[in-house]
Structure 1
């Protein structure tokens, strides 16, 4: 495979990886918002989120390997993980390295989720919100000008709109925030509990009780 083919392969794999990571982020936001339907229940949303995550990692690896194998620019393995040290386009390549480092942190903690405190896992997992815009900026600023072509701008714009729409739908709206949803579900469960009618301990009689004399009571 010549240098030109590796260049196009790296660019294409990077674009596909961005689209897949956008889908992963949107599904993650939907999962946190307890999204689900009759066609795709919440468990299905979670499984789809994990499956697309694996596919996105494959295309990201293809993007990185083909970029390193391409001898047109000087790019080494260290530059993939060490930000802003690349001999070629250090800033934009460095943003890609930051995104890769954040992704590794999210991936490793997700694999070790059962062995980590929930707060630690959740805190690291929220790094995905920082990783995604950094990856978008990396794609727009690097690639030798390919990032500002009309079709790449269109793809990036659709990805941004998808994430913003998901955030508004499941996170930013006060009535759809997970905390608000949990409070609403708790209120509904409380309202559906059977009502308990207090019982008056005072006996109710239909006729007044008339004391009987001793003789009548005996008879």
Structure 2
């Protein structure tokens, strides 16, 4: 694979990961409301949230792995685990590493949810709320497309979608309905 192909696939997988994280956060809020979507029953919203989250994690890992092999990115394995150590743009790349670490914790604890207990899982799962804006800022700071109109529009749309979902989540009209354990598997 050519270095240009690695670079484009690395960038593209990062953009797709951001969009999928946006959808995942929004669906997660919708799942917590316990309401069905106009086109989906409750259990399907929960399943879509889970599958979108896993797909976002796959694209995030793909993004990181592709950039590890890309000579332009100059990313080292240690940079994917420990934030703010990268040789290139350590702050911006460090935010991406922090997102990867937070989402890894969410995925691992979600897989172990029935063994670690609901309270522990939920406490760690809340870090998904932190990982989304950190990922967005990473993309705006480290992304080579950050100054382009198409990316700024995409980042704006993602921001509006998450802001609307969070506003609804924090409003007095939001009623929290826990999902039965059987539906969350």
Query: Same fold by TM (over 0.5)?
Result: yes
- Corresponding residue number in structure 2 for 1:155: 154
1:143: how far off? 2.5
Q: Structure 2 CA distance, aligned partners of 1:73 and 1:99?
A: 18
What is the SS of the residue equivalent to 2:85? coil
- Post-superposition Cα deviations, 1:159-198, rounded to whole Å, max 9, x if no partner, equal 11111111222x12102242xx79xxxxxxxxxxxxxxxx
Partner of 2:183: none
Provide Cα deviations, 1:13-63, integer angstroms capped at 9, x if missing partner: 100110001101100000111120463111010011111122112211211
Residue among 169, 172, 175 paired with 1:174: 172
CA RMSD of aligned residues (A): 1.5
Contact 2:20 2:56 in 1 (8 A): yes
**Counterpart for residue 137 of structure 2:** 137
Which structure is larger by alpha-carbon Rg, 1 or 2? 1
Q: TM-score, normalised by structure 2?
A: 0.91
Which of 1 and 2 has higher RCO (CA within 8 Å, sep 6+)?
2
Per-residue deviation, residues 69-105 of structure 1 (Å, max 9, x unmatched): 1112321111011100011111100000000110011
Distance 1:78 1:148 in 2: 28
Who is 2:42 aligned against?
42
Q: Separation in 2 of the partners of 1:29 and 1:37?
A: 12
Shifted more, 69-78 versus 9-18: the winner is 69-78
Quick check: 2:24–2:52 contact (8 Å CA) kept in 1? yes
**TM-score, length-scaled by structure 1:** 0.77
Q: Which moved more, 1:132-141 or 1:52-61?
A: 52-61
Cα distance between partner residues in 1 of 2:55 and 2:69: 21
Residues 38 and 139 of structure 1, relative CA distance in 2, 3 Å threshold: closer
Q: Which residue of 2 aligns with 1:165?
A: 164
- Structure 1: which 5+ runs fail to align? 183-219
Please list every run of 5 or more consecutive structure 2 residues that lacks an aligned counterpart in the other structure: 179-185
1:83 is matched with which residue? 83
Structure 1 residue ranges (4+ consecutive) displaced by more than 6 angstroms after TM superposition: none
Instruction: Give the number of aligned pairs.
Output: 178
Distance 1:157 1:37, change over 3 A: closer
